[in-house]
Amino acid sequence: MGGFATVLGPLVGQAFDGLAKIIGEFHMSPEEKVQAQQAIADAQAQAVAAAQTYEVQLNTIAGENIRADAASGDKFTQRARPTFMYVIIAVLGFNYIGLPFAQIWGSKVGPIVLPGDLLTLFGVCVTGYVMSRSAEKIAALPGDSQVSVLGMKVGNKS
């Protein structure tokens, strides 16, 4: 389950569970209670399925955007993600390598402060590149070299 479905799923479940408890307190025949609780369970399943479908649609759109960027003739658009990573690496190198040497020689220059969300985004980008490159290397091995990621097979089968 993706982000949207993960957030929405428990909320939907709690709402429908509360509704089921309320119906349980009505004075109805056992058959009517069962029908009402079944209707709630069906509605809950439909809501979770709709959230999952929405998440799949968002992922599909994001994938299409990435493919469109890669297919673009504009070199800046094609290199935007690597450029972002190079800039963050340069800032981290300045903060943790260059700055200590500058301070040894008496410089009063302070570090460049990066927001935590930017560093998290950098970590996600690096992880994506490392994982995709690792999968490519495994796929290039001779023989049956496949990687299974989320149920999808990546690699060659010689």
Same domain, 64 and 83: no
Q: Is the pLDDT of residue 150 over 70?
A: no
Give the separation between CA 28 and CA 23, rounded to whole angstroms: 9
Same domain, 61 and 16: yes
Same domain, 33 and 89: no
For residue 155, list its beta bridge partners. Answer: 146
Mean pLDDT of 119-140: 81
Give the separation between CA 67 and CA 72, rounded to whole angstroms: 9
Same domain, 8 and 64: yes
Same domain, 91 and 122: no
Number of domains in the chain: 3
Same domain, 120 and 155: yes
By C-alpha distance, which of 3, 36, 2 is closest to 19?
36
| Residue ranges making up the domain that contains 142 | 115-158
CB-based contact 138:97 (threshold 8 Å): no
What confidence score (pLDDT) does residue 93 get? 92
CB-based contact 112:104 (threshold 8 Å): no
Q: Is the pLDDT of residue 1 over 50?
A: no
Same domain, 101 and 66: no
Question: Percent of the chain scored above 70 by pLDDT?
Answer: 66
Same domain, 31 and 86: no
